[in-house]
Structures are given as C-alpha cells and as structure tokens.
Amino acid sequence: MFFALQAFAVLQILTCIKGESNAYKQQENNQWFKDGVNLLRNNLQVQKIKGKAHGVVLFLGDGMSLSTVTAARILDGQLKGKTGEENILSWEYFKHVGLSKTYNTDSQVPDSAGTATAFMSGVKSRKGVINMNENVVRGDCKSSENNELMSLIMMAEQAGLSTGIVTTTRLTHATPSSGYAQSANRDWEYEAKDDCKDIASQLIDFPYGNGLEVALGGGRKNFMLNTQKDPEENLYGKRKSRDLIKEWTNKSTNSVSYKYIWNDTMLRALDPSKVDHLLGLFNRDHLNYEYYRKNDTGGEPSLTEMVAFALKVLQKNSKGYILLVEGGRIDHAHHANRAFHALHEAIELSKAVEQANNMTDPRNTLLIVTSDHSHTFTLGGYQSRGTPIFGFANGIGLDGKKFTSLGYHSGPGAAENKPRRQPTIEDLKNPDFKWPSLIPVSSAKHGGEDVGIYTRGVQAHMIRGVVEQNYIFHVMDYALCLSESKMEICKTQGVTVVDGSRKRRSRD
C-alpha cells in the first residue's frame, strides 16, 4: 500500500510536469512570446557607438507629452490600415531612451523659453527668458547684463561648424530663438525694451562664426517694416526700423551668398550644393497646420522637406554641423484643444525624423528626439483595441452620455462642451473640433510631468534614466567634443579632438 501511494504521487508529479511542459511549449509558440524573445536578442546586439560625432540633430516636439506620442502612434497606424496600437513611430526604433524633468527654476510647470534655455545652454533657468541664467528678471533689460548664456549653436559657430534651425513656428519663437538669441523676455520678437536687442535682429546680427547657414520657418512680420506689405497677405510687417530681410541679402559678397526665400517653389528651385546661407520665411506668422499646409496660397514646404534640405546644406562642412528642428505646432494645437492637429503634427515630426535617420550614419551622427514640456492631454476609457483614436470610449458617463477617449484637463473645449453634451460623429470628424476639457480657460495649460528622450548614433547611450533637461545639452556637447570642458573629457576617453578656432567673430 505504501509503495502504491508513492507510485501514485510520482505519477501525479510527472503528469503535472508534463502539463507545465506542454503549457510552456504552447507559450513558446505564441507570437507575442516570440516577438519578446526576438527583441531581447536584438537588444543584446546593440553596440555603444563611441567617438566624436560629425553631426548632431536635435528634434523637439513642442508640447509632445508621452500621451501625445501614444495617441499619434495609434493614429499613424490606423492611417496605414492597422488597428494602431502595434504601430511604431520613427524614433521609437531608437534603442537608447530616457526621461527628462522639465521644470524651470521658478516654475513647477515650465514654459518653452526656460526649457529651450536648458537643452540649448546646459543651464536651467527661469520661465520666459532665452539663454539667460536665473539671476535675470523677465522683462528687465538691465538685469540681463552679465547673465547671458551661450547656446550650443553659438559654440558650434565659433568652432567653425555649420548650423541650422528648422521650425513650423515663427523663427523668433521661444524654441528656435534659443539657438541664436539672448533675451530677458521671449516676447521681444521684433521690439525690445531699453537697450536690449529684439530677437529677430539677433538672427541677422549673429556675431559667432559666420552666422547660421540655414534658418527655415515662419514669422516674416518680425523681419519686415510696418510699411512693407506681406507678399501673400494684405497685412504689413511689425518693425519700426530695419528691414532685416534686406540686411540679410545685403551680406552677400562675390564669394558668399545670403539667399532669402518665402515659398516652397523657391525652396525646391535651389541647389543645396550651391547654398551658403539661407533664410526661408514661409508665412507671415506660424506655418499652417500640416493638414491645411497644401492649401496655403503662397505655398509652404513640409517639415520633412525643410529638414532634408537643411541637412544637405549642413553636411557639406567637413568640420561638422548641428541642426535644431522643432515641430512647434503640436503645442499650439494642444493649447486650442485641437487633438486632430496635435496628432497629425506629431506624425509629420515622425516623418521628418525618419528622413534624417535615412540621411545620416549612426556611426558619425547623433539624433535626439525629445519634448520641451508636456500637456494635460489624456487617452483613456477602456475602449476596445482598434477603436478609432478620434472616437468614443466604451460605456457611458453617469449622465447617460458617451464620452471621447481623448480629452484635456483645461482649455477652450470646456466652454464649448458645457453643459456637457455628447459630441456627434460630425464633431469627431472635424479637424478643428475642440475636444472636451475639464477647466474652461482660453488656452490649455502645459503639463508638468516628465517627457521622453529618444536617441540614436554616436554617444546615444549617454541618455538613460531620469535626467534634468539641461543634461541633453551636455550629451550633444560631448558628442561633438565642442566646449572646453567636453574637449577635456573627450581626451580622457581617448576621443580624437580637432581643436577649431573659438574666437568670436565681430561684424562691428
């Protein structure tokens, strides 16, 4: 009897083991399981690319929160005929990822000026100031003296590298201006207080190296006199003095050209191999949303087109280059609770990143994709997989009405949807529909949570973990072995450093 019980127990154990074995075999044959194993194998082969970068491209999705990335990923997939959730945006293929803490020194939830100062100068600062340390008082011209900060683009120009800025906003807006300007107030785009220089004039008078090689975006009005009529609108410039566009073209000499263009036809007619310095102002104000861009009367290039052209110009320099690219209208759409435009702008940014990825070699180029700050944009509701991203969540609210899977914490959508009404199918198909929000304000507020950093190429492995936003500057600086402090680190790491001229060029 005893031996019979033992035999029975052994049989039970063997049966259990066999059952577990069969279950595991079935598990191994599951496609999700196989995908996980393949990804693990691929990640084990990822190599750290060390050395000195020839080029750095920083992509900035203004206001591109993690929820924006997720929703844009789904929309992009659905536009390709998939359910959407399994889709991957271009930068999500990058193997090195971190999180950025975005607060300003005086603000828990930041603005785009203080954040741009952080990732372009390496120093965290106050809200509303461009390349100024935290000792400056916003709007106080005198307080800016001796509190200026140098941007990575300024340093690059001093070292003889080529530099460029591409944006869908005004070139004088917070993020793009952080490349070339120093201002105690981000609002001084065409007119400044006291003896301070306005931001637009600083682009033209840029005193480092030989100036920007490429500057493409919007904002013609800030470069034109208030007596000059815009070429495509019955409106005039903003400036009381200095025709900055004329001053730009007047820089041309027999050996160096300074070209100005204002529409996509003019851009496509240019040969990048023959371009020395290019200023492109494709709208009086910000560029159109990508969805409406093709209907622009004057003709605007896409962000992807501008990036491709800029890279062709900058890559000619054997000393290297840096390019700052901003998908700036993601933020504007979120401020207006226009989720349709925010997600389409993010998809266009993904296309621009893919273009740069295809045009550059990870063995000599660092690509970084990040955001300056978050937005209080949400995706939720337990909806079934494959539900249209511009659709309804499963179930109904306590008031018996359906609710959308996308929404906002604050913004103009609150006023337009209160008392709470159930949006119609026609509403959800309208690109300009203001999605429901909780708190009624004229412009949605920024979010304060961390944002993603996605990197590929030389020294990309230096981005990992949760970091302060200003650290992004130091990774780019190190990849280029640019500033004196990074040159010393490069030398200790055995990276070959070619010390270029760092003397400031004066145009006085």
364 shares its domain with 339: yes
Asked if residue 35 is part of any domain, the answer here is no
- The 10s digit of each residue's pLDDT in 237-269 is 999 999 999 999 999 999 999 999 999 999 999
Q: What is the pLDDT of residue 379?
A: 98
Residue with tokens 């999700």: 32
- The 10s digit of each residue's pLDDT in 279-306 is 999 999 999 999 999 899 899 999 999 9
- The 10s digit of each residue's pLDDT in 392-413 is 999 999 999 999 999 999 999 9
Q: What SS3 class is residue 66?
A: helix
d(CA 187, CA 25): 64
Q: What is the pLDDT of residue 14?
A: 54
338 shares its domain with 289: yes
- For residue 266, the Cα-to-chain-centroid distance in whole angstroms is 26
Number of domains in the chain: 2
348 shares its domain with 451: yes
Range of the domain at 258: 57-376+446-492
456 shares its domain with 318: yes
State the pLDDT confidence band at 448, using cuts at 50, 70 and 90. very high
Asked if residue 52 is part of any domain, the answer here is no
Asked if residue 502 is part of any domain, the answer here is no
- Per-residue pLDDT for 129 more than 60? yes
Q: Are 357 and 90 in contact (CB under 8 A)?
A: yes
Q: What is the pLDDT of residue 508?
A: 30
Residues 90, 112, 144, 162: which is the catalytic one? 112
Average per-residue pLDDT for the chain:
94
Kind and range of the H or E run holding 285: none
The conformation of residue 32, written as its DSSP 8-state character, comes to H
Mention every residue, 6+ apart, whose C-beta is less than 8 A from residue 492.
Answer: none
- Per-residue pLDDT for 272 more than 50? yes
How large is the average pLDDT for residues 478-500?
84
Model confidence, pTM = 0.93
Asked if residue 359 is part of any domain, the answer here is yes
d(CA 503, CA 244): 26
456 shares its domain with 434: no
Pick from 346, 345, 347, 339: nearest CA to 412: 339
Pick from 131, 69, 14, 138: nearest CA to 450: 69
Percent of the chain with pLDDT over 70: 94
Whether the bond into 231 is cis, omega within 30 of 0: no
156 shares its domain with 220: yes
Q: What is the pLDDT of residue 504?
A: 37
Asked if residue 463 is part of any domain, the answer here is yes
Q: What is the pLDDT of residue 360?
A: 98
179 shares its domain with 230: yes
Domain CATH for 242: 3.40.720.10
Both tokens of 439, joined, read 């708190």
Q: What SS3 class is residue 60?
A: strand
Asked if residue 11 is part of any domain, the answer here is no
Q: Are 381 and 394 in contact (CB under 8 A)?
A: yes
Q: What is the DSSP string of 184-217?
A: S-TT-SS--STTPPPHHHHHHT--STT--SEEEE
The answer to whether residue 112 is catalytic is yes
Asked if residue 45 is part of any domain, the answer here is no
Kind and range of the H or E run holding 55: strand 55-61
Both tokens of 173, joined, read 């807006």
Pick from 240, 239, 257: nearest CA to 248: 257
Both tokens of 391, joined, read 């659709």
Q: What is the pLDDT of residue 148?
A: 98
State the pLDDT confidence band at 500, using cuts at 50, 70 and 90. very low
Q: Which residues of 85-110 are buried (b: 16+ CB within 10 A; e: fewer)?
A: eebebbbeebbbbbbbbbbbeebebb
Q: Which amino acid type is present at position 112? A: S
How many CA atoms does the CB half-sphere of 169 hold within 13 Å?
A: 23
- The 10s digit of each residue's pLDDT in 298-356 is 999 999 999 999 999 999 999 999 999 999 999 999 999 999 999 999 999 999 999 99
192 shares its domain with 289: yes
d(CA 140, CA 346): 35
347 shares its domain with 483: yes
Q: What SS3 class is residue 445?
A: coil
Residue with tokens 């359910």: 83
- The 10s digit of each residue's pLDDT in 184-227 is 999 999 999 999 999 999 999 999 999 999 999 999 999 999 99
How large is the average pLDDT for residues 135-158?
97
Asked if residue 334 is part of any domain, the answer here is yes
264 shares its domain with 409: no
107 shares its domain with 184: yes
d(CA 149, CA 328): 23
Q: What is the pLDDT of residue 416?
A: 83
Q: What is the pLDDT of residue 23?
A: 82
- For residue 411, the Cα-to-chain-centroid distance in whole angstroms is 22
Q: What is the pLDDT of residue 21?
A: 77
DSSP E strand boundaries for 286-359: 321-327
Q: Which residues of 189-226 are buried (b: 16+ CB within 10 A; e: fewer)?
A: bbbbeeebebbbbbbbebebbbbbbbbbbbbbbbbbbe
- Per-residue pLDDT for 231 more than 90? yes
Q: Are 389 and 78 in contact (CB under 8 A)?
A: yes
438 shares its domain with 476: no
